[in-house]
Amino acid sequence: MAFATLIESRDNSTGGHVRRTSMYVQLIAEELRRSGLYEHVLTKDYIKNLVKAAPMHDIGKIAIPDAILQKPGKLTTEEFETMKTHAAIGGRMILDTFQKLGDQEYLEMAFAVAKCHHEKWNGKGYPEGLKEQEIPLCARIMAVADVFDAISEERCYRPAIPLDKCFEIIAEGSGTDFDPQIAEIFLKARTKVEEIHEQTNLEVEA
């Protein structure tokens, strides 16, 4: 968590991204299980590992130059291609760094979350263009949490987007960017999502 927070501090965000996304993925996983979806996968250990792995999703950004990571305006095509490399780099870093921990399930989870959280349901994501069920479940959950938090918080290149619009963006991305079942579960849990958003922002301000 400390390592992830250190990386987060480099991109001039308002802070709390690591904590919020971890809470969002836990909420999504628990709501999926409660709804009877992926029950055979979403065991207590799976959810525990997912929550522990979530903070590592952007670990690859440590290799992205500050000039790109902290750029206040829109990235050029070349800069965006460089930014996109953080997913594959993150996956490799996880394997190199955590291989000797002796926890294979966590290693695989953290690797998938870091490498695949920018893959899209329609196959137009990166780094490998995986689609639908080819994308690990943990990464499909992470994708919704990551995008929602990214757009709902202030960034160096734009102000925070109002929450109503953020939920609309998730709804519009259902079936294209996001697993439609996961997007639906997230939208149904809107009240709980808003509670997390408000709670963690108050903690950051304090």
Q: What is the pLDDT of residue 72?
A: 86
- pLDDT for res 14: 46
Question: Can you give the pTM of this predicted structure?
Answer: 0.92
- CA angle, 161 then 31 then 94, to 5°: 75
| Cα 10 to Cα 25: distance, rounded to the nearest angstrom | 23
* Radius of gyration in angstroms for the set of CA atoms belonging to the chain, rounded to a whole number: 16
E-strand ranges in 46-202 read none
Judge whether residue 75 has pLDDT over 60: yes
Instruction: Indicate the domain borders of the chain.
Output: 2-205
Q: Topology of 2-205 in CATH?
A: Hypothetical protein af1432 (1.10.3210)
Q: What is the rounded distance in angstroms from the CA atom of residue 182 to the CA atom of residue 187?
A: 9
Segment 144-158, tens digit of pLDDT = 999 999 999 877 667
Most confident of 3-12, 54-63, 109-118, 155-164: 109-118
User: Which residue pairs from 102-107 have beta carbons closer than 8 angstroms and sit at least 24 positions apart in sequence?
Assistant: 105/45, 105/46, 105/49, 106/49, 106/52, 106/53
In terms of phi and psi (left: phi > 0; alpha: psi -120 to 50; beta: otherwise), the region of 95 is alpha
- Using CA atoms, how far residue 168 sits from 21, 36, 111, 119, 174, in Å, is 18, 25, 30, 20, 10
